[in-house]
């Protein structure tokens, strides 16, 4: 075999061994779960010291595009806008001319794509110093692209793994918050010869912004209330939890007139939400011996009292809490509860539930359900209402928290 062919063969073997060793080095670092910084340093060493590329930039996409590596380049890399300057490149491309003076300082762009989406761009300069022929140069670029792809995918996996850990932690925190929120709802609602009370609540997410409560003041007087916070998510749920704790705390110390209580709660919501959210709230004070119900409806969906045939909406009150620093008016509602009457409290997740034709469930359907199944115990009535709500929405998801609180007064 001619000596020149032997030298070419030996060089190819050396080149292949180098490429294999480089890939093994990268793979070992990935398997050992090395940091992103360590992976970047290995890539930098291979590209600069072993392959001999003197100048390069590596852009990597995280939430946005970031410069991961900058080696040997003295220009202003900040002038490169990936979306404007590089996204059009879908394969290894020799840069002949560009509208960007900075891009023109490079010779080759190496894109890293995954399922058609760009994950990284490698810009190379000084390749003439490698003294490669065209075939050698293309082979080298292909290897560099493979090497870059391995590094970028490894870094992306690290990022996704971290996101997974964060998401798992958030999920766990939400589960804990959900369990804590459940503890805030009354667990022992009375069902006796004087009254039958039951409630049902389904949050849209792990934590919700609906609230109801039953607070005995003594053997004959009770507080009943329901509320809904504007907005969704943890912040809304935490505002409601704080609101609920405030009500419980206030009633644990002394009795309050409902108007004074509403004024104090409005101040509390203003302070806690800083004007970003508000709470609709219905509160009633029931005196069992007198059968009197005093109430204030602060912008909430109108509860109703019914005898199974006719009903009355409880609409006296004021605007929602947290809407104004000073409530413009507060009206106190009063009524006497006849025997065998039912008070129905609910949140807008019930009457605003849509079916697959985008029709709302609305109050009339809720009233009709209560009247049609009036003899049922309150727990059975609530379960039936939620069953009908499931039928109504069909395959559509819940778009809001949903709560109902029914009270039968014998």
- For 296-324, what is each residue's pLDDT tens digit? 999 999 999 999 999 999 999 999 999 99
pLDDT tops 60 at residue 177: no
Q: Is 305:341 a contact under the CB 8 Å cutoff?
A: yes
Q: Highest mean pLDDT: which of 146-160, 171-185, 328-342?
A: 328-342
Give the lowest-confidence range in 163-167, 310-314, 385-389: 163-167
pLDDT tops 70 at residue 5: no
Segment 273-288 mean pLDDT: 90
pLDDT tops 60 at residue 64: yes
> Could you tell me the two tokens for 213?
């409560």
The single-letter DSSP state of residue 48 is I
pTM of the model: 0.60
Same domain, 248 and 381: yes
Residue that finishes a domain, picked among 133, 163, 193: 163
pLDDT tops 60 at residue 184: yes
**Tokens 């602060």 appear where?**
298
> Could you tell me the two tokens for 288?
């069992």
Q: Is 57:73 a contact under the CB 8 Å cutoff?
A: yes
pLDDT tops 50 at residue 7: no
Find the CATH number of the domain harbouring 254: 3.60.40.10
In a domain, 115, yes or no: yes
Same domain, 34 and 151: yes
Same domain, 220 and 360: yes
Q: Highest mean pLDDT: which of 10-24, 129-143, 209-223?
A: 209-223
Residue that finishes a domain, picked among 163, 194, 216: 163
- Which tens digits make up the pLDDT trace of 227-243? 998 877 667 777 787 78
pLDDT tops 80 at residue 213: yes
Same domain, 248 and 107: no
User: To 5 degrees, how large is the angle CA 232–CA 236–CA 241?
Assistant: 140
Same domain, 145 and 218: no
- What is the spatial distance between Cα 48 and Cα 44, in angstroms, rounded to a whole number? 6
Q: What is the pLDDT of residue 142?
A: 77
In a domain, 61, yes or no: yes
In a domain, 236, yes or no: yes
Tell the burial category of 36 from Cβ atoms under 10 Å away from its Cβ (0-12, 13-18, 19+).
middle
269-276 long-range Cβ contacts below 8 angstroms, 24+ apart = 269/239, 269/243, 269/321, 269/322, 270/322, 270/325, 272/239, 272/242, 272/243, 273/239, 273/322, 275/322, 276/231
- What is the spatial distance between Cα 300 and Cα 44, in angstroms, rounded to a whole number? 63
Percentage of residues in the chain with pLDDT exceeding 70?
81
pLDDT tops 50 at residue 1: no
Segment 338-346 mean pLDDT: 96
Query: Could you tell me the CA-to-CA distances from 319 to 65, 170, 211 in Å, in that order?
Result: 47, 35, 18
- Which tens digits make up the pLDDT trace of 42-61? 888 888 888 888 999 999 88
The whole domain housing 344 covers: 185-409
Confidence of residue 205 (pLDDT cuts 50, 70, 90): low
CA 113 to chain centre: 29
- What is the spatial distance between Cα 160 and Cα 152, in angstroms, rounded to a whole number? 12
Same domain, 196 and 308: yes
Confidence of residue 36 (pLDDT cuts 50, 70, 90): confident
In a domain, 168, yes or no: no
The single-letter DSSP state of residue 73 is -
Q: What is the pLDDT of residue 341?
A: 96
- What is the spatial distance between Cα 60 and Cα 155, in angstroms, rounded to a whole number? 9
Nearest C-alpha neighbor of 236 from the set 211, 219, 261: 211
- Please give the tally of structural domains in the chain: 2
Q: What is the pLDDT of residue 183?
A: 64
Segment 191-217 mean pLDDT: 85
Confidence of residue 24 (pLDDT cuts 50, 70, 90): low
In a domain, 201, yes or no: yes
Confidence of residue 13 (pLDDT cuts 50, 70, 90): very low
Q: What is the pLDDT of residue 201?
A: 87
Average pLDDT, the chain: 83
In a domain, 179, yes or no: no
Q: Which residues contact 327 (CB under 8 A, 6 or more apart)?
A: 262, 263, 266, 318, 319
pLDDT tops 80 at residue 275: no
Same domain, 273 and 349: yes
Element holding 364 (H helix, E strand): helix 362-372
Q: Please, what sign has the CA dihedral across residues 146, 147, 150, 155?
A: negative
Same domain, 45 and 190: no
Q: What is the pLDDT of residue 407?
A: 97
Query: Could you tell me the CA-to-CA distances from 93 to 96, 103, 142, 349, 399 in Å, in that order?
Result: 9, 12, 11, 56, 49
> Could you tell me the two tokens for 323?
């809407």
Same domain, 190 and 155: no
Q: Which residues contact 381 (CB under 8 A, 6 or more apart)?
A: 198, 370, 373, 406
In a domain, 297, yes or no: yes
pLDDT tops 80 at residue 166: no
Give the lowest-confidence range in 69-73, 132-136, 182-186: 132-136
In a domain, 146, yes or no: yes
Find the CATH number of the domain harbouring 107: 3.30.450.40
Q: Collapsing DSSP states into helix, strand and coil, what is residue 214?
A: strand
Same domain, 296 and 151: no
- Which tens digits make up the pLDDT trace of 356-386? 999 999 999 999 999 999 999 999 999 999 9
pLDDT tops 90 at residue 17: no
Same domain, 155 and 191: no
Segment 341-368 mean pLDDT: 94
Same domain, 99 and 129: yes
Question: Which residue did the predictor score with more confidence, 370 or 68?
Answer: 370
């Amino acid at each position: 075999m001619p000596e020149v062919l032997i030298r070419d063969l030996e060089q190819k073997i050396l080149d292949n061994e180098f490429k294999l060793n480089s890939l093994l080095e990268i793979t070992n670092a990935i398997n050992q779960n090395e940091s992103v910084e360590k992976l970047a340093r290995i890539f930098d060493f291979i590209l600069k010291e072993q392959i001999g590329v003197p100048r390069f930039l590596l852009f990597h996409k995280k939430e946005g595009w970031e410069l991961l590596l900058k080696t040997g380049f003295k220009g202003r890399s900040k002038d490169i806008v990936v979306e404007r300057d590089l996204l059009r490149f879908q394969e290894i491309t020799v840069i002949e001319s560009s509208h960007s003076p900075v891009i023109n300082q490079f010779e080759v762009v190496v894109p890293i794509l995954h399922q058609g989406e760009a994950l990284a761009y490698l810009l190379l300069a000084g390749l003439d110093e490698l003294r490669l022929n065209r075939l050698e140069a293309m082979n080298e670029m292909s290897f560099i692209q493979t090497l870059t792809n391995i590094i970028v995918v490894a870094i992306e996996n690290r990022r996704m793994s971290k996101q997974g850990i964060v998401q798992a932690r958030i999920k766990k925190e939400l589960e804990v918050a959900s369990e804590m929120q459940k503890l805030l709802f009354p667990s022992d609602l009375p069902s006796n010869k004087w009254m039958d009370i039951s409630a049902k609540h389904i949050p849209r997410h792990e934590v919700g912004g609906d609230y109801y409560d039953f607070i005995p003041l003594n053997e004959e007087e009770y507080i009943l209330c329901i509320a809904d916070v504007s907005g969704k998510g943890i912040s809304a749920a935490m505002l409601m939890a704080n609101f609920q704790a405030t009500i419980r705390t206030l009633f644990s110390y002394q009795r309050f007139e409902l108007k004074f209580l509403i004024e104090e709660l409005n101040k509390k919501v203003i302070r806690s939400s800083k004007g970003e959210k508000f709470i609709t709230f219905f509160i009633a004070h029931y005196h069992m011996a007198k059968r009197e119900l005093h109430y204030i409806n602060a912008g909430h969906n109108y509860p109703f009292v019914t005898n199974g045939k006719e009903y009355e909406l409880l609409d006296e009150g004021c605007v929602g809490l947290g809407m104004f620093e000073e409530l413009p008016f507060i009206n106190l509602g009063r009524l006497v509860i006849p025997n065998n009457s039912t008070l129905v409290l609910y949140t807008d997740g019930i009457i605003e539930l849509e079916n697959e034709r985008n029709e709302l469930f609305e109050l009339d359907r809720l009233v009709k359900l209560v009247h049609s199944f009036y003899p049922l115990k309150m727990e059975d009535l609530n379960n039936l209402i939620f069953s009908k709500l499931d039928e109504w929405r069909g395959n559509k998801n819940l778009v809001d928290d949903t709560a109902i609180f029914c009270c039968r007064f014998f």
